[in-house]
Amino acid sequence: MLNFTLWDILSNLLLAARWTVLLSLIAFVSGGVAGLLLLVARVSPVPPLRVAARLFIEVFQGTPLLMQLFIVFFALPLIGIETSAWTSAAVGLTLFTAAYLAEIWRGCVEAVPKGQWEASASLAMTFPEQMRHVILPQALRIAVPPTVGFSVQVVKGTAVTSIIGFVEVTKAGTMITNATFQPFLVYGLVGLIYFALCYPLSLSAKALERKLNVAR
Partner 1 sequence: MSPVKTPLVKLSAIRKSFGPVEVLKGVDMAVEEGQVVAMIGRSGSGKSTLLRSINGLERIDGGVIEVDGECVDPGQIDLRALRQKVGMVFQQFNLFPHLTAGENVMLALKVVKKQDKATTRAAAEAALAKVGLGHKFDAYPSQLSGGQQQRVAIARSLAMAPKVLLCDEITSALDPELVAEVLGVVRKLAEEGMTLILVTHEMRFAREVCDRLVFMHGGRIAEQGPPAELFDRPSTPELAQFIGMVEAR
- Binding test (CB under 8 A) with partner 1, winner from 12, 120, 158, 170: 120
Q: Are 100 and 153 in contact (CB under 8 A)?
A: yes
Residue 69: is it exposed, middle or buried by C-beta count within 10 angstroms (0-12/13-18/19+)? Answer: buried
Q: How many CB atoms within 10 Å of residue 127?
A: 16
Interatomic CA distance for residues 65 and 8, integer angstroms = 32
Q: How many CB atoms within 10 Å of residue 20?
A: 27
CB of 209 to partner 1, least distance (A): 18
Cα of 152 vs its chain's centroid, Å? 8
- Binding test (CB under 8 A) with partner 1, winner from 5, 47, 48, 122: 122
Taking CB under 8 A as the rule, does residue 129 contact partner 1?
yes
CB of 57 to partner 1, least distance (A): 26
Question: Which of these ranges, 4-12, 82-90, 130-138, 206-214, lies near partner 1 under the rule CB under 8 A?
Answer: 130-138
Taking CB under 8 A as the rule, does residue 83 contact partner 1?
no
- Binding test (CB under 8 A) with partner 1, winner from 121, 144, 185, 212: 121
Taking CB under 8 A as the rule, does residue 126 contact partner 1?
yes
Interatomic CA distance for residues 113 and 73, integer angstroms = 42
The contact set with partner 1 (CB under 8 A) reads 113, 115-116, 118-126, 129, 133-134, 137-138, 141
